[in-house]
Structure 1
Amino acid sequence: MAIAESMRTWARRIKRDAVMLWFARRHPDTPLLAKALCIFTVAYALSPIDLIPDFIPVLGYVDDVLLLPSFIWLAVRLLPHHVIQECRVQAEAWMEKEKAKPASYAGAIGIVLIWIAVLGLCWWYFYRA
């Protein structure tokens, strides 16, 4: 039971920090590089579409287990401590009030565009004259 509880706690923290980055991207004290990483991470984390679909064995869960927490960790490391504290309070209040995770349709559009670009490059590579 201890492992299951620690996994639930870890998942809640990941969700909270994704929402925290959503607030941090608009905070006036957030540095430009951190703001850009927050925007990318939030768009990716809250997108209803995964970059690597979950039905692909092993690789489908790599983004959920490794990639997303790594982006969140890096974004949090780039943020000033007071911004993290303020935005975590905002995120917890928002999550308590809404009882749901926000969705990023811009992130979904970005992922669809990446897939279209990859498919276009594959088509160009295999069907060029």
Structure 2
Amino acid sequence: MIKRIRAVWRDALALLFALGDRQTPTSARLLALGALAYALLPLDLLPDLTPVLGLADDALVVPGLLALAARTLPAPVYHAAQGRSLALQRRLPWLVPAVVLGALGTAGLLGWALWQALAG
């Protein structure tokens, strides 16, 4: 599980670094924008109020779009961006666990607040 999270994080960071490169195709930029929009907008395939499945679609769609966008990058751009991503992960090894725990904590707080609002 941790290896998979690190791979998704590596691809997301590599894609972020690659977006600034002039050789990055428009399709990769649009896929990355789509992943960001899907993660941030309240419109989902399955509503977040649906237990487990509501968050599961986010956990599948967003990394899938990011991975697809990373695969549309030209090889030299992807390798350069991936090198920068790995260098950042080596310098900041606590970054991935902090982001994952922060996301889980935020989701838990939002769920608790929603539960309180609906219960009372």
Q: 1:10 to 1:50 in 2, by over 3 A?
A: farther
Structure number with larger C-alpha Rg: 1
Aligned length: 93
Confirm or deny that 1:87 pairs with 2:75.
no
The aligned runs of 1:1-129 (5 Å cut-off) are: 7-41=1-35, 43=36, 51=42, 56-57=50-51, 58-64=53-59, 66-98=60-92, 99-100=94-95
Superposition CA RMSD, Å:
2.8
Preserved CA contact (<8 Å) 1:25 1:39: no
Normalised by the length of structure 1, the TM-score is 0.58
Q: TM-score, normalised by structure 2?
A: 0.61
Q: Which stretches of structure 1, 4 residues or longer, exceed 4 Å deviation after superposition?
A: 49-55
Aligned partners of 2:91 and 2:65: how far apart in 1? 26
Pick closer, same or farther for the CA change 1:25–1:39 going to 2, 3 Å. farther
**TM-fit CA distance, 1:82:** 1.2
From the superposition, tell whether residues 62 and 26 of structure 1 become closer, same or farther in structure 2 (CA, over 3 Å).
same
Q: 5+ residue gaps in structure 2? A: 100-120
Residue type at the aligned position of 2:22: P
**SS in structure 2 of the partner of residue 28 of structure 1:** coil
Q: Look up the equivalent residue of 1:77 and give its one-letter code.
A: R
